[in-house]
Structure 1
Amino acid sequence: MKTIIYTHPWAKSFNHGILETLTTNFAAHKEAYQVIDLYQDKFNPVFDNDELAQFNKGTTPYPLVKDYQAMLKQTDELIIIFPIWWSTVPAILKGFIDKVMLPGFAYNIDDTGWHGLLTNIKKTTVITTSESPWSKFTDSIQGQFIDSLLPELGLHAEQTTWRHFDGVETSTPEARAEFLKELADL
């Protein structure tokens, strides 16, 4: 099962065009997929006292977190779509990681170290947009998100592809169409 984590609030954004391109392509090829749309779901990325008190136990009082965990357990291919804001992931995506990737679900720590548990996910594709070129984000997205954070969850960098579209506000319709065509071929 493919799972898309989609992180953009505006339905007319280029990010939404990316989401529509992928879901249309998956449906046309009869590929099973599901979408976690953090804004549409009104996901609250902020910990409250009750949630934080349960964090180290690997539990949560938040039903949506449990739903997301069930979806991720069914996933063998993960696609994460987000705009790069202030040189990093949007706050709602960071909050998703904080609240959903609980100990005992996404990782364990023992005497031998940190062990990612989402090993059922065999392939990850990160798709980002920004006005600035991708080279500006090699430390934050490639280094911190892909090479550091994802492996801590069991998603290995060598199984992860990063696709970036820069100049999102100044690009031509032809450039956008070409990027979407390339994504449909993933």
Structure 2
Amino acid sequence: MHVLVVYCHPVETSFASALHQEVLRNLRAAGHTVDDCDLYAEGFNPVMSREERLGYHDVPANRATMASYVDRLQKADALVFCFPTWCFGLPAMLKGFFDRLFMPGVAFDISDPANVKPMLTHVQRIAAVVTYGRPRWMAWYMGNPPRRIVTRYLKRLTGNRARADYHACYHMNVATASRLARFKQRVGEAMARFA
């Protein structure tokens, strides 16, 4: 499979960075081709401009400023997201990636607003590798928006055809080195059998 890996963390020495490298290494070792999209390294601009918002429904002109990312998304058979959860949500850069890229004519067809159709039907697999500073029960209490975006929203954009996996490491603020190592190993194993 051709896998688009979307990574979002500004610090190269973070645990998220180590997880990102584990994802890349194991996907490649399993024989997948990988497009590594490191949003911070690429200088991705998460801000939707006034002009972009005004032209949001103007298909296909709306994709002009995001053309390279649209191409990368359309070539992908699978999507893997690696990111931390901040304030119980996606990091702002990743949220901006979703806001700007998952638009009409790319992620969904809204030509009939009463019958919106998914357009990412070529995507067969979705996975996320996510860290949380707080415990799992707190994420659940807050509604766990990142999990819902990956396992519900993205899956819906594939016409509910893609299988979605969510690998979460909760309560990073008190995690021991051995617990982090076990989680990293589980992520590596999941990516090694990714299909």
- 1:142 paired with 2:147, answer yes
Indicate if the aligned counterparts of 2:151 and 2:165 stay in contact, CA closer than 8 A.
no
2:117 counterpart SS class: strand
Indicate if the aligned counterparts of 2:121 and 2:161 stay in contact, CA closer than 8 A.
no
What is the deviation of 1:111?
5.6
Correspondence for 1:122 = 124
Correspondence for 1:54 = 55
Correspondence for 2:9 = 8
What is the deviation of 1:6?
0.5
What is the deviation of 1:122?
0.9
- 1:22 paired with 2:23, answer yes
Superposition TM-score, scaled by structure 1 size:
0.89
Give, in whole Å, the separation in 1 of the partners of 2:182 and 2:159: 28
Distance 1:31 1:153, change over 3 A: same
Structure 2 letter corresponding to 1:173: A
2:116 counterpart SS class: strand
Correspondence for 1:153 = 157
What is the deviation of 1:148?
4.2
Superposition TM-score, scaled by structure 2 size:
0.85
Structure 2 letter corresponding to 1:81: C
Give, in whole Å, the separation in 2 of the partners of 1:113 and 1:38: 32
Report matched runs for 1:84-99 at 5 Å.
Answer: 84-99=85-100
Correspondence for 2:193 = none
Indicate if the aligned counterparts of 1:14 and 1:168 stay in contact, CA closer than 8 A.
no
Q: Which of 32-41 and 49-58 deviates more?
A: 49-58
What is the deviation of 1:99?
0.6
Give, in whole Å, the separation in 2 of the partners of 1:9 and 1:157: 32
Distance 1:147 1:30, change over 3 A: closer
What is the deviation of 1:36?
1.2
Indicate if the aligned counterparts of 2:8 and 2:94 stay in contact, CA closer than 8 A.
yes
What is the deviation of 1:178?
1.0
Give, in whole Å, the separation in 2 of the partners of 1:25 and 1:93: 23
Correspondence for 1:72 = 73
1:17 counterpart SS class: helix
Q: Which of 173-182 and 129-138 deviates more?
A: 129-138
2:172 counterpart SS class: coil
Unpaired runs of at least 5, structure 2: 191-195
Q: Matched residues, percent identical?
A: 23
Unpaired runs of at least 5, structure 1: none
- 1:165 paired with 2:165, answer no
Indicate if the aligned counterparts of 1:78 and 1:124 stay in contact, CA closer than 8 A.
yes
Give, in whole Å, the separation in 1 of the partners of 2:176 and 2:161: 31
Structure 1 letter corresponding to 2:53: L
Correspondence for 1:178 = 182
Give, in whole Å, the separation in 2 of the partners of 1:25 and 1:88: 27
Give, in whole Å, the separation in 2 of the partners of 1:70 and 1:55: 18
Correspondence for 1:38 = 39
1:78 counterpart SS class: strand
Indicate if the aligned counterparts of 2:3 and 2:78 stay in contact, CA closer than 8 A.
yes
